[in-house]
Amino acid sequence: MPEIKVVPLGAGQDVGRSCILLSIGGKNIMLDCGMHMGFNDSRRFPDFSYITRSGKLTEHLDCVIISHFHLDHCGALPYMSEMVGFDGPIYMTQPTKAICPILLEDYRKISVERKGETNFFTSAMIKDCMKKVITTNLHQTIQVDNELEIKAYYAGHVLGAAMYHIKVGADSVVYTGDFNMTPDRHLGAAWIDKCRPNMLITESTYATTIRDSKRCRERDFLQKVHECVEKGGKVLIPVFALGRAQELCILLETFWERMNLKVPIYFTLGLTEKANHYYKLFITWTNQKIKETFVKRNMFEFQHIKGFDRNYINNPGPMVVFATPGMLHAGLSLQIFKQWANNEKNMVIMPGYCVAGTVGSQILNGKKKIPIENGGIIDVKLSVQYMSFSAHADAKGIMQLIRHCEPKNVVLVHGEAGKMKFLKEKITQEFGVGCFMPANGQSIRVESKPSISVDMPLNLLKRTMAQKGELSDLLSEKRSKQFHGVLVMSDDKLRIEDPKKVLNDLDIKDHEIRFTSTVSIPPVSMEVLHTQLEKMLSDHSVLLSPDGSILIGSVLLKCSTDEEEEEDLKMLVSWSYQEEELGSTLFHTLKNNFDSLMQL
């Protein structure tokens, strides 16, 4: 029996270092290739020796798919392709291809030039890696080879983020990457076809969270920022360069304009211009409102938000600063935090998820003394606020996607083990499908039952769909239809044909098979029985013949003895094989549920 195999090299019961190996229909695909922000040693990259201990990965992988530009999904890409060795195709969307090398270069500079790390990819390697990239458009089916095809769908989350539908023959897998089912101020909600895959591999960052109203959250955020700067405090908002940064900038820009505030708002120098450039370039990836107003006013050209210089850190007076990166694990945001942490007037607002081990994660867990490099300690006296403006789907969003997608199995990745376990139970309980949460290096195997496609003439399909439903379908919301036809194989293809057409083509005489049985029922006139059957079978034509027999389609009910001779009536029930369900249902109703029939 063919099977689908999944092995996380990263993001298995963990957030960070997303890298999933998928084997489907004899094809091997790597889904994302990220780094881990909680480690600075060899653990920051996936362990590619799992695939092969010697030689290039090209021989073992058919392609690599990158879902979006966040470093925990693409940060190990140049290391994998240029240092370990992969010459095959790398697929990503156009915005992801444009933004990826910028973030990779920033990551390289921090790691090599500031921290002095060795065994790291170079700027040239980033460029060589990006030459191997093939861009994908939304809803475009791309043939990787004769058997493997992929299709990208809008994922929300960040500019250019995509979910991928991967198909080999009749088997298919959907990989979500990071996605958001709720539209925000600059991006739309994730959307995918009802593709009913064999497997859905989904992120589960917020597996146990159901977020409150977005409007309430925004009001709370603005209120806290306003209160802090009114008291003369400084507000640090650690963000990643693209995504939540633009969302919160639009929010503060609108509020500052409305309130006529003069307190300076700063953004990491250079990144605002870059972000603005890419949002202009890829305006079709934003939400409908921004697309409609873009000609009159570009929402990303901020009047109140200026570029930040490191010399401003110790400036007196209130200010609001957006600084990268978002988890306080390095860079300018950590530098500012060190300077402002010991003042009670100041505030840090963490707007998204923080990986375990980062400074952001530690302060959210309430730590007041944070050890840093070179043996130093950060004394945390400032106010620490967490407000989830994260662009990940919450538990409700994940369940919504599963309900829409209708997968046969679900694999949870990119989440914490305890929260995954809770969500896994909910998924199994509500949808009755297999649900797995593999750890890194653990294999998941799911059998894929082969499906056989059969063609059918349109006129036969229309005729069958026009017929009234069977008895068992009457109470069903999704009424199924039973097709009667002859299965014909021709030129290695299967099709269902109308039996009359096949008989005519083969010059064979039509024979009718009928089932006949007799059942004893209490004395009743055929007129009364006819009335009760009309009530029971309101969707069918129930006819009373002059000879006293009752006809329902091909089903015949006839009294087989004289009513005065016997205490009970002998009722003959006869039906054709095409109406087996209707005939047998009537027979069993007369035999076992006659009293109930008479009480209708």
Residues marked active site are found at 203
Q: Are 391 and 156 in contact (CB under 8 A)?
A: yes
Q: How far is the CA of 288 from the CAs of 145, 189, 379, 443, in angstroms?
A: 35, 11, 45, 41
Q: Are 435 and 421 in contact (CB under 8 A)?
A: no
Q: DSSP assignment, residue 394?
A: B
Q: Are 184 and 123 in contact (CB under 8 A)?
A: no
Residue 224: which of 383, 390, 404 has the closest Cα? 383
Burial degree of 242 (CB within 10 A; 0-12, 13-18, 19+): buried
**Amino acid residing at 384:** V
Rounded to whole angstroms, the Cα distance separating 376 from 558 reads 98
DSSP secondary structure string, 463-489?
HHHHSPPPGGGTT-SS-------EEEE
Q: DSSP assignment, residue 444?
A: E
Q: How far is the CA of 256 from the CAs of 222, 226, 249, 303, in angstroms?
A: 10, 9, 10, 10
Sign of torsion, CA 71 76 78 79?
Answer: positive
**H/E element, 119:** none
Q: Where are the beta strands (DSSP E) in 355-498?
A: 369-371, 377-379, 383-386, 409-413, 434-436, 444-447, 486-490, 493-497
Q: Are 46 and 9 in contact (CB under 8 A)?
A: yes
**H/E element, 404:** helix 395-405
